[in-house]
Structure formats: C-alpha cells, structure tokens
Amino acid sequence: GAVVSQHPSRVICKSGTSVKIECRSLDFQATTMFWYRQFPKQSLMLMATSNEGSKATYEQGVEKDKFLINHASLTLSTLTVTSAHPEDSSFYICSALEGGGGTATQYFGPGTRLTVL
C-alpha cells in the first residue's frame, strides 16, 4: 500500500520556539492531506485540511496563526507549531489522501511526538 512518512518522529523543544513537522507521501501524489492531534489516552482530533496550492482549512478552535500549514507540493505538507508551549505537547499525525471521490483512501503517517518543555 501507499506510504506516508513524517519527520521528525520525536522532537523536544523549549517553550517559545517553533517546530516544523513534515508529512510526505512517498509513492503517490496527494492534493489533500490532513493533520490530526492526539493527546494522551484520547482519540485523534482533526486539526486542519491541507490543500496543495491553496490555504489550509482549519477546524473550529484551532488557531491558524499558531499552527501554520504549508502544502507546497503534491507530496509534502508541513505543520509549524509557532511559539510552542507545554500545552502543545501532543502526538501529531498526518494523513494523505490518495485518489478521489468515493474511492479515495486515506493513508496515515507514523506520527510525531512533540514535547514542549
């Protein structure tokens, strides 16, 4: 099946710094990617939809100025957590959509664990 990678897999940063997370579709092109956040012992919550060549669509309650998303190519979307704070510590998971319409399949990356000190 299709493969989606994330980099880094784990990052620790100081409060106030910015962290960039990459999501790549390795063997297919994805005009649409999704970013999820998962707090400990909770489910995945959709943060935003990343569209190649256009602005991301954010879910209610997600600050677009804090979580910057750039989908500059058909195989790469980046999520930048700006001025990170301890409450941003979480597991961030991306997914990429292969195909379209009713047969589109969503492939997930392995996740990035962010710890903000």
Binding site for other proteins (CB under 8 A): 32, 34, 36, 41-46, 49, 59-60, 91, 93, 95, 97, 100-104, 106, 108-111, 113
Least spacing, CB of residue 102 vs other proteins, in Å: 6
Does residue 9 contact residue 1 with C-beta atoms inside 8 Å?
A: no
Nearer residue to other proteins within complex by CB, 16 or 110: 110
Tell how far CA 16 is from the center of its chain: 20
How far apart are alpha carbons 51 and 117 in whole angstroms?
A: 31
Least spacing, CB of residue 66 vs other proteins, in Å: 20
Does residue 81 contact residue 114 with C-beta atoms inside 8 Å?
A: yes
Nearer residue to other proteins within complex by CB, 62 or 68: 62
Does residue 78 contact residue 63 with C-beta atoms inside 8 Å?
A: no
Nearer residue to other proteins within complex by CB, 86 or 102: 102
Least spacing, CB of residue 17 vs other proteins, in Å: 23
